Structure 1
Amino acid sequence: MLVGLIVFYTAVLYIPYLLLYKLVFFFQFARVPQNFLALCASDYYKGCIFHRNIKGFIVQTGDPTGTGKNGQSIWKKKFKDEFHESLRHNARGIVSMANNGPDSNGSQFFITYSKQTMLDMKYSIFAKVIDGWNVLDELERAPVEEKTYRPLTDIHIQDVTTHANPFADSFDELFPEPNQGAFFDWMAFGTSSISRGGLGLFGQLVIGPPGSGKTTYCAAMADFLTNLERKVHVVNLDPANDTLPYCCSVDLSDLIRLEEVMDYLSLGPNGGLIYCMEYLYTNRDWLADRLSKLKQKDPKCYLIFDCPGQVELYTHHPVTRQLIAYLTQKTHQIPGGKDESATIVEGLGLQLTAVHLVDSHYCSDPGKFISCLLTSLSTMLQLSLPHVNILSKADLIEQFGELEFNLDYFTEVLDLQYLVDKINKNNDPFLAKYERLNQALISIIQDQSLVQFLLLDIQNMSHLERVMRYADRANGYVFGPDEQRNLQALMHSASGVELTPDWIGLAQEKYMSGVKQTEPDIDFFS
C-alpha cells in the first residue's frame, strides 16, 4: 500500500494509499479557513478516515471518531455558513465544509468528484484541487460498502504538517475554553494593546514602480532617522524582496512567499504579487499582532513600510486601498451577538504618509513625464493618504541628456501645455494620433492641482532631511496627536497651505533640539 500526500496550500496531509494532490484556499471568508488551518495545526485531523466515499459525487473526512456523526470546530460549537456567489461547486475537486443543516459547520469536509450545483449556497467552499488528479481518481475507485459508502479498507490521514499558517501555533495556546474569550480577542487582531484609538504610531508607506529605489530609500531613511535617535522599525510588505539592505522588524515572507505562490498556483510575478497582498489583507490579524508587539517593545516607534512595486496595486486594484484603510482607521466598540466579541477592531489607527518614488529619468521624455504625473495623481486619489511625491535618483539625471526645461518646471509641475507642444513638434505620426488624449490628460492633472515633487539623491543628507520634514508634517508626527493639527498637516501636504509660525517653531524645536545639523536645506521649490 502506497504512502502519499495531500498538499493543501498551507498544510500537507500524509495519507496511506494515496499519492499527491494540491489544494488552494479561498480566503474571502474568515471563519472557514481559520477553523480548518487551526485544526490542522493542532493535529486534529491525524488519524481521521475517509468515512464516506460516493463515486461520482463526493469523498468526506474530518471526523476523529470515524462515524461521520461527530467533529468539533475550534470554537467547541457549530459555526455559521459562509457563501459567496463567485464560489460554486462547478467542477471536480471543489473542497467544502460538510454539515447537517444550515449553520452547523464543525470539522468535517468533503471533496467533489464532479460538478454538483445542487450543493451551491448550502455548503461553504474553501478550497479547490489544483494538482495530482490521479490521486483523486484512485480514491474514487476504492471499493466501498454498498449501503454506507464507507471504504472497505480504511484510508486515513496519517500525519499533518502545516506551512505558513497565520492562524494558530497550537490548539491549546490559541483556543482555550470559549468563556475566557481569548479566541475572539486574538481574532480581534491579537492583542489588548490595540486600544480604542488604535496603536497611534506614525510612519511612512513607501511605494513606487519597480526600479524607483524604494528599498534603498527605506534603508537610508531608517539609518537617517536612527541617527536622529528615533526608534525605527522597517516592515517589509514586498514578497518579491529577496535581499534586504535593512534590519527588518516584520517580514511578509514569514506569512507567505511569492515563489511558493507562483509555483503552487501557476501564476506569474504580477498575479502572484496580487495574490500575496490579498492574502495579507485577509490575514491582517497577523500583521496587527506583529505591529502590536513592536509598540509594546518601543511605545513611540516610527514605522517604515516597504511596499511592492506593482503599479496597479496603487492605481486601481482595491486590495491596497483596503489594507491602508485598515492600517489607518481607528478602533471602536459595538455590542456583539451571542457568537461575536463585543470589541470590533476596525483598524490599527496608524498615522501614515505615502512616500511615492518615481525615477527622475522620466523628466527626460515629455510623454513619460505625463504618464508619471498621471500615475502619481491616480495613486493619490486611490489611496486617500497624504502624499510626498519624489523624483528619485536625482544624482543620475544628467546621464539622460539635457532636459527640455529647468528642474523646477518638473518639481513644481508648471504649465504642462509646453510638454504637449514639445511632443507635437516631433512630427511623429504615431504620437500625433494621441494629441487629444495627451491634451485631456494634462487637463485632468492640472485641474486637480495635487502633484508636485521633491528631488532625492539618496546620498545627500539634506535631501533626506527635506523628505523627512514633509513626511512628518503630512502625517502629523511633528504636531503630536491633536486631530486639528493633523488635518492642517494634511492640507499643507496636499495643497501647499502654509503652516502658522507657531507650528513652524514647534517643528524646528522638535528637529533641532540636541541634534547635530546636517547640510543646509536646499529648497528645490524656490
Structure 2
Amino acid sequence: MTRSSLAERRFKRQVQRLKRAVDPKSWHRPDEESMQGLYWPAKDESRLRLSKARSKYRSADANFAKSTYCSSLYQHCEAVQRTVHIVNLDPAAEKFDYPVAMDIRELISLDDVMEELGFGPNGGLIYCMEHLQENLDDWLEEELENYLDDDYLVFDCPGQIELFSHVPVLKNFVEHLQRKNFKVCVVYLLDSQFMTDVTKYISGCMASLSAMVQLELPHVNILSKMDLVTDRRGLKNYLNPEAPILLSQLNQHMPPSFAKLNKVLAELVDDFSMVNFVPLDLRKESSIQYVLSLIDNCIQYGEDADVKIRDFDEPEDD
C-alpha cells in the first residue's frame, strides 16, 4: 500500500471521528455568538493554484491573490532571465498583467456557458472544467506540442476550492500530466488575514488538507498579502502551531458543546504535520525567490541540467 493511500485512509478515519465528536444537541441553528466559530471557509476564501514546469522532469506546481502571484512570479523570472510560461485555466478570467501562453477561453468560456445553458457562476465553472477534461487529448495535447522539455509552465487555476477538494476534474487533469511525464506540485495560496484568528486558521488548514488528500501531490502552502499584515508577532503563533495551544484557543472561541470537535481538529492538524505555511511578501525579491526555490525542489527542476563549463585559452609561452 502506498504512503498516499495510507494518508488518505488515515484522513478518512479522522473525518469519521469528527462526525462522532459533534454533540447531536448542537445540531440547531446557532446563535450569533456560536456563529463566530464556523470552521469551513466560505466560497473563494481559500484559493489554490497549479503551476507547472516542464523540464526533462516535466513539472507542475499548483494556491488567494493568485493572479497577482502569477504576475509577480513572471516579473521575477523575467528579471533573473528565467523563462516561464503562464497558462490560464480559469474560464472566468477577464484580464492579465502577464503574457498568457495558453488560454482555456479559446476552448470554452464561462460567459458563453452561462448565456447559452443558463447556468449560474458555480455550475457554469464546473461545466467548463468538465469540458476541459473531455478535451485533454485534443486541445491540451495540441497546445503542449509548442513547448520543449525544459520549458517551465505555470497553470493559473480557478479559485473555487471545491475543484480541488471534491470535484475530481483537476485531479484527473494532473494525472493526465503525470502520464505525460510531468512532475506536478501544488501551490496553495491562503490570505494572511486567516492567521489572525484560530478558527480561520483551522478553516484554512482543513481546506489545504482536503486538497492534499484529493490531489495526492506535493504542496507548497503560501501566505499571501503579507504586506497587509500589521501584527507579525501574532502571526508566528500559527506558522509552527502546537496542538495544546490551538485547542486552548479554540475552546475560548467556541461554545462548550464543541469541545470534542475542537480536540479532534487540533489533533488532526498536529498528527499530519503536513500543513506549514510560507509567508510571501511580493515587495521583496528574496521572498519570491525563496518560494520559487521551494517549488523547484518539489519538482526537481533543473537537476538534470548539464553543468556549464567555460573554456579558457591556455597562456602562450613567452
How does 1:72-471 map onto structure 2 within 5 Å? 200=56, 202-207=58-63, 212-285=64-137, 286-295=139-148, 299-329=149-179, 348-398=180-230, 402=231, 406-412=234-240, 414-426=241-253, 429=255, 432-471=256-295
- Aligned partner of residue 185 in structure 2, secondary structure: strand
- State the structure with more CA Rg: 1
- Aligned partner of residue 300 in structure 1, secondary structure: coil
User: For residues 472 and 200 of structure 1, do their structure 2 counterparts lie closer, same or farther at Cα, with a shift above 3 Å needed?
Assistant: same
One-letter amino acid of the structure 1 residue matched with residue 103 of structure 2: D
Query: How many Å separate the matches in 1 of 2:94 and 2:83?
Result: 25
User: For residues 226 and 441 of structure 1, do their structure 2 counterparts lie closer, same or farther at Cα, with a shift above 3 Å needed?
Assistant: same
Query: How many Å separate the matches in 1 of 2:204 and 2:222?
Result: 11
One-letter amino acid of the structure 2 residue matched with residue 479 of structure 1: E
User: Retained in 2: the 8 A contact 1:235–1:251?
Assistant: yes
CA apart distance, 1:274 = 1.1
Match in the other structure for 1:131: none
Bigger RCO (CA 8 Å, 6+ sep): 2
Query: How many Å separate the matches in 1 of 2:142 and 2:55?
Result: 11
One-letter amino acid of the structure 2 residue matched with residue 227 of structure 1: A
Query: How many Å separate the matches in 1 of 2:97 and 2:59?
Result: 19
CA apart distance, 1:203 = 4.3
| Matched length | 255
User: Retained in 2: the 8 A contact 1:261–1:267?
Assistant: yes
CA apart distance, 1:397 = 1.6
User: Retained in 2: the 8 A contact 1:376–1:451?
Assistant: yes
Match in the other structure for 1:127: none
> Of Structure 1 and Structure 2, which has the larger fraction of its residues in helix?
2
Question: 5+ unaligned residues in a row in structure 1: which ranges?
Answer: 1-197, 330-347, 482-505, 514-526
- Aligned partner of residue 441 in structure 1, secondary structure: helix
- Aligned partner of residue 91 in structure 2, secondary structure: coil
- Aligned partner of residue 220 in structure 2, secondary structure: strand
Query: How many Å separate the matches in 1 of 2:60 and 2:94?
Result: 21
Query: How many Å separate the matches in 1 of 2:55 and 2:225?
Result: 34
Q: Deviations over 1:460-503 (max 9, x none)?
A: 1011000011000000103228xxxxxxxxxxxxxxxxxxxxxx
Query: How many Å separate the matches in 2 of 1:323 and 1:442?
Result: 32
CA apart distance, 1:229 = 2.1
Q: Deviations over 1:194-220 (max 9, x none)?
A: xxxx9846444333xxxx111111111
Q: Deviations over 1:18-58 (max 9, x none)?
A: xxxxxxxxxxxxxxxxxxxxxxxxxxxxxxxxxxxxxxxxx
- Aligned partner of residue 317 in structure 1, secondary structure: coil
Q: Deviations over 1:47-93 (max 9, x none)?
A: xxxxxxxxxxxxxxxxxxxxxxxxxxxxxxxxxxxxxxxxxxxxxxx
User: Retained in 2: the 8 A contact 1:363–1:410?
Assistant: yes
- Once the two structures are aligned, what percentage of the paired residues are identical? 37
User: For residues 364 and 224 of structure 1, do their structure 2 counterparts lie closer, same or farther at Cα, with a shift above 3 Å needed?
Assistant: same
Match in the other structure for 2:35: none
Q: Deviations over 1:236-259 (max 9, x none)?
A: 001111111110010000000001
- Aligned partner of residue 358 in structure 1, secondary structure: strand
- Aligned partner of residue 124 in structure 2, secondary structure: helix
CA apart distance, 1:267 = 1.5
Query: How many Å separate the matches in 2 of 1:416 and 1:301?
Result: 42
The normalised TM-score by structure 1 is: 0.46
Query: How many Å separate the matches in 2 of 1:203 and 1:250?
Result: 16
- Aligned partner of residue 293 in structure 2, secondary structure: helix
